[in-house]
Amino acid sequence: MNTVLNENLEKNRSYYFDNLKFVLIVFVVVGHVIEPLIGSYSNIKLIYSFIYSFHMPLFVFISGYFSKDIINNKKIYFKTSGLLITYIIFQTIYSLFDVYILNGASIKM
């Protein structure tokens, strides 16, 4: 049964998008690595701006492309509401951490 499951997963995989996601993840890592060098070199700022101008919108596009198979609106509602609730929880925790631990000026949401 496990081989049947693996065959179905292999049949539905898109190697183009797998490779594209890998390249985008590499761009994220490169962007984070060169971020401290932005003030020192103008070419680094250009590379940084180039990477950040497209990699996140492309991640959003790919996520939307793979979520198109959801037909039932209830599934979409629960999926997005779960993400929204998770975002609110973690943003609140981060904001409290910023104010009380890092001595930030005020809570920013």
- pLDDT, tens only, 20-62: 889 989 998 998 999 888 888 888 988 998 888 888 888 888 8
Alpha-carbon span 28 to 72, nearest angstrom: 33
Distances (CA, A) of 55 to 3, 43, 68: 35, 19, 20
pLDDT at 9 over 60: no
Provide the Cα torsion 36, 39, 45, 49; round to 10°.
Answer: 70
Residue ranges covered by each domain of the chain: 1-68, 70-109
What average pLDDT does range 69-98 have in this prediction? 72
pTM, full prediction: 0.54
* The most confident of 33-37, 76-80, 84-88, 101-105, by mean pLDDT: 33-37
Q: Of 84, 101, 105, 83, which is closest to residue 93 (Cα–Cα)?
A: 101
What's the token pair of residue 81?
Answer: 């509401």
